[in-house]
Amino acid sequence: MGKMKTILFDLDGTLTDPKLGITSGVQYALSKFDIHVDNLDTLEPFIGPPLTETFQELYGLSEEQSQQGIAYYREYFADRGMYENELYPGMHELLGGLKERGVSVCMATSKPTFFAEKIADYFDIGRYFDFIGGSNLDNTRTDKAEVIQHVLETQGIDPSETIMIGDRKHDVIGARKNGIPSIAVGYGYGRDEELRLAEPAYRAATVDELAALLRELME
């Protein structure tokens, strides 16, 4: 790991805490199908995975309904939801430190690139990233493995010199499919059992632990 030159970051649950915006957007979308959810905590599983997948798994929507659900979700998200979000404390320092060390920093998120770029600019972290890669607005390239592959190929990145950081099993599995080790963070929305079973190369419970681990891996 001493040769690590590129770090890939997930967005939701890894760089920022998007709970209010995402769950409120999903609540709004579900209401269009006459599904009313009062407790936003129950919608936390929507944070991280592709929305189509979660609409179908948790609420039994068809593929067509899920696509319509995403359209409703984006009505809310574009207007308010993307700003109902908080950057995790210490993230500016972590990202700035990586850039000072000359490491290439990229984002690999299942969120559409269009929204990911706006969120990065809103929190003034876009300047730390060499590339921001996400899904397409037509709901293609939502699988995390596909997103990571897109980032690697677009930037000409060597997987053997790269590590992926995320808070859900999708990040760990997507990294493995691309031959990349991963760090699972415990401060996001992946439950401990989920992350343990996914078998990441490393675990970090807090942003401070993540920063310390990255310093160790780069020495």
pLDDT band, very low/low/confident/very high, at 219 (cuts 50, 70, 90): confident
Question: Residue 207: phi, psi to the nearest 5?
Answer: -65, -40
Mean pLDDT of 171-175: 98
Question: What's this model's pTM, rounded to 2 decimal places?
Answer: 0.94
How much is the mean pLDDT over the chain?
A: 96
Residues in the chain: 219
pLDDT at 217: 87
pLDDT at 123: 96
User: Do residues 190 and 13 touch, judged by C-beta distance below 8 A?
Assistant: yes
Q: Where in the chain is the domain with CATH 1.10.150.240?
A: 19-83
Q: What is the dihedral of CA 208, 201, 16, 131, to 10 degrees?
A: 110
Residue range 30-56, pLDDT digits in tens: 999 999 999 999 999 999 899 999 999
Mean pLDDT of 83-91: 97
Mean pLDDT of 83-104: 96
Q: Where in the chain is the domain with CATH 3.40.50.1000?
A: 6-17+86-218
Distance CA 98, CA 42 (A): 35
**CATH of range 19-83; options 3.40.50.300, 1.20.1110.10, 1.10.3720.10, 1.10.150.240:** 1.10.150.240
- CATH number for the domain whose boundaries are 6-17+86-218: 3.40.50.1000
pLDDT of residue 2 exceeding 80: no
Mean pLDDT of 70-95: 96
Which residues are the active-site residues?
Answer: 10
Distance CA 103, CA 4 (A): 8
pLDDT at 69: 97
